[in-house]
Structure 1
Amino acid sequence: MDINHHGLTLLIGGKLYLAPLSGEISMSPVTNECIGIWAIDFADQFPKASVIGTDIAPIQTTWVPPNLEFQIDDSTKEWTFREASLDYVHARWLVGAIQDWTALFKEAYKSLKPGGYLESYEPASRIESDDGTVTNSTALCQWGKIFIEGGRKLGRPFTVYEDGIQGKAMEEAGFADIEERNFKTPVGQWPRDASDREVGVYMQLAFEQDVEGTVLFMATTLGWTRNEVSVFLAHFWKEIRSRKIHAFFRQKVVWGRKPTSL
């Protein structure tokens, strides 16, 4: 996730957020994510803010800025923050972890001060190409099918990007001035542009770090054998390292503001 964070930061121009935050962030921004490095970077950028990072597992480093606190919490439950106490809520890569996105964003809405922002980052499940090098017969193409079908079986959608769930859920939760940005995220060393290639290298590394455990869980949920998973992974690793396959996946950043008057 640290590698993925770096790749995503490069993708959005070296920024940590895209919402139009003022320089007066001062009270408890919260990050609901399975990564601590974003919260550390944000706390460094806003030294006067009280930053709270939440996760369901104690996997974060203990070396943190003095204005950052990590808490063990489940963002799918009722939030424990005081009503209207937060200036900003940042959530990223929760795909597969959330059953009811509207309920999640309603908790964010309740916890935000009027005028505060919620910002959500989520990837598409499908890996594709513009030139047909990711074909239906490739493991890269099959990747998305595994997670989409597995997510349906588990009741946790992996089509957050594809179905526009972020924007719809924000609107249903009551947010206004909703905006979004879409990004193509290259995977691998194939891009000619140096900036795109750097993103692609980091995203390839991110995939390679955790692909076996991630695929094994989902594929066995769908009834695959361990041998079938091993064969799939062998093809996946070969394809993701090939400069002849121009793979990418899409990501969407959506932010919305809690109205100052109702």
Structure 2
Amino acid sequence: MTETAAQEQTTANTPANVEVDTSYENDSAYGDELSAYSASLTASVLEYRHENGRRYHKYRDGSYLLPNDESESDRLDMLHELCLMALHRKLYLAPIKNPQRVIDLATGTGLWAIDFADQHPDAEVIGCDLSPIQPSLVPPNVKFLVDDIESEWAYESNPFDFIHARYLTTSIKDYEKLIKQCYRSTKPGGWVEFQDWDAYPLCQDGSLKDTGFKKFFDEVIGAFEDTGYVARPGAKLEQWFKEAGFVNIHVEKFIIPYGVWPKDRHLKKLGAWNQAQLESAGFEGGAMAVLTRFKQWTKEEVVVLASQARADGRKRDIHAMFNFWVVYGQRPEN
């Protein structure tokens, strides 16, 4: 692929300028290969950590700083719909053909794996996550495992046609290692696709300056990065794929607004869903553990910070947006 072609692919979904809808006036509208520790569920897998009114995983306690309770599950399901809308109802963009063996990393509530299994009934689909929060009634060709994707894998001897990972931001400390593990566990000619955020907001008109919305992400993203997590992986994925050895790498960047301020109807709809998922449980859920465990904030201080972000995010003169990246690559045939 030429450099010019790559640039065209990268910018295809990135408008030069997102126009503000000035007519908007209503602020309120809007397991064979299982590793030993996952072969049989230990007590820690089924236990939970309760803290500051939220529930967290106990298996590999502390390695993931977002909740796993019902409110968070609902938010993850909303994110699933948001990503489908952004990708025009596509679960993936990689040019896979007749996949027989597929894994969804950090599957969350498992909706992506379930939908993929429905679309590809001949494929064996695995979804793995630290928390067993997936439904029990699923297609016969999908199964869920409790596993830590940042630990050593044991899939090289039985590799995959397709490996998928989505919004791992603020949950992974070593993306380079993870992507290299994906390379080793992909069949020659197979594909790996990561869909991930730059979790820090941007705007085109300076309207985020001195807002509670910006302060929230300054504090929370800073805390995650200080703790060793990658919070802005999207733009780095292409380089990590190259370093791992992938070829035929394809990059696309999507704009995801926050709120219904864009004039474009598609972007307006994306913005409404993005606002809904963050307002539902995302602000407190994203901030609570990292700020109280590592930055000595109180629960009450986190609630105030989240409330200020939520209030500013509803103002029609604040035009926040996020970059969402889709990067896929192929393991060479030879």
Q: 2:226 aligns with which of 153, 159, 177?
A: 153
Q: 2:243 aligns with which of 169, 172, 176?
A: 172
- Residues 177-217 of structure 1: per-residue CA shift (max 9 Å, x gap): 11211111011122222221211111111101222122122
- Residue 2 (structure 1) aligns with: 77
- Contiguous gaps of at least 5 residues in structure 2: 1-75
Residues of 2 paired with 1:184 and 1:35: CA distance?
24
In structure 1, the residue corresponding to 2:145 is in which secondary structure? strand
Moved more, 5-14 or 239-248: 239-248
Asked if residue 186 in structure 1 is aligned to residue 261 in structure 2, the reply is no
Q: Is the contact between residue 55 and residue 72 of structure 1 (CA under 8 Å) also seen in structure 2?
A: yes
Give the TM-score normalised by the residue count of structure 2: 0.73
Q: Is the contact between residue 83 and residue 112 of structure 1 (CA under 8 Å) also seen in structure 2?
A: no
Alignment of 1:1-262 (within 5 A): 1-22=76-97, 24-26=98-100, 28-33=101-106, 34-83=108-157, 85-135=159-209, 137-161=210-234, 164-210=235-281, 211-220=283-292, 221-261=294-334
How many aligned positions are there? 256
Residues of 1 paired with 2:148 and 2:326: CA distance?
22
Shift, 1:224, TM fit: 2.9
Q: Is the contact between residue 85 and residue 112 of structure 1 (CA under 8 Å) also seen in structure 2?
A: yes
Shift, 1:84, TM fit: 5.2
Q: Is the contact between residue 53 and residue 69 of structure 1 (CA under 8 Å) also seen in structure 2?
A: yes
In structure 1, the residue corresponding to 2:204 is in which secondary structure? coil
Larger radius of gyration: 2
- Contiguous gaps of at least 5 residues in structure 1: none
In structure 2, the residue corresponding to 1:120 is in which secondary structure? strand
Residues of 2 paired with 1:257 and 1:82: CA distance?
16
Moved more, 167-176 or 219-228: 219-228
Shift, 1:39, TM fit: 0.7
Q: Is the contact between residue 213 and residue 310 of structure 2 (CA under 8 Å) also seen in structure 1?
A: no
Shift, 1:223, TM fit: 3.2
Please report the RMSD computed on the Cα atoms of aligned residues, expressed in angstroms.
Answer: 1.6
- Residues 36-71 of structure 1: per-residue CA shift (max 9 Å, x gap): 111111111111111100101101111211111111
